[in-house]
Amino acid sequence: QAQLVESGGGLVHTGESLRLSCAASGRIFNMYTMAWFRQAPGKEREFVACITSSSGITLYADSVKGRASISRHNAKTTVYLEMNTLKPEDTAVYYCAAKVLGGSPRLSLYEYWGQGTQVTVSS
């Protein structure tokens, strides 16, 4: 029933920018904390950013702080992740996730997940 669908991934070069989108449906996601995680081949899935519903408080991983911006639009059911100054180490499958209550970087607390969108940053 619940569904999160990511889009906007692709191939970019080092230093360029990209905007990822996540569309939520099937649940009342406008009251959920929304987040982005990423997973590179052979590595564990890691937290990127999250944003709460009511207050709009954001949290970023140190690896993307200053280069990424998470925001919510369309009655808070669409979430974006804008990244600039992309690096090869940003290459990964990016996943959208959702949880109830407050924001958190803990992967295990997120209840709903999308299928991911591939981001490849070439040198």
pLDDT tens string 2-49: 799 999 999 999 999 999 999 988 766 778 899 999 999 999 999 999
Q: What is the pLDDT of residue 82?
A: 98
Q: What is the pLDDT of residue 76?
A: 74
Q: What is the pLDDT of residue 27?
A: 67
Mean of per-residue pLDDT scores for the chain: 93
Residue 30 and residue 34: Cα distance in Å, rounded? 9
Pick the range with the lowest mean pLDDT from 5-14, 51-60, 73-82, 113-122. Answer: 73-82
Average pLDDT over residues 82-97: 97
Average pLDDT over residues 68-94: 93
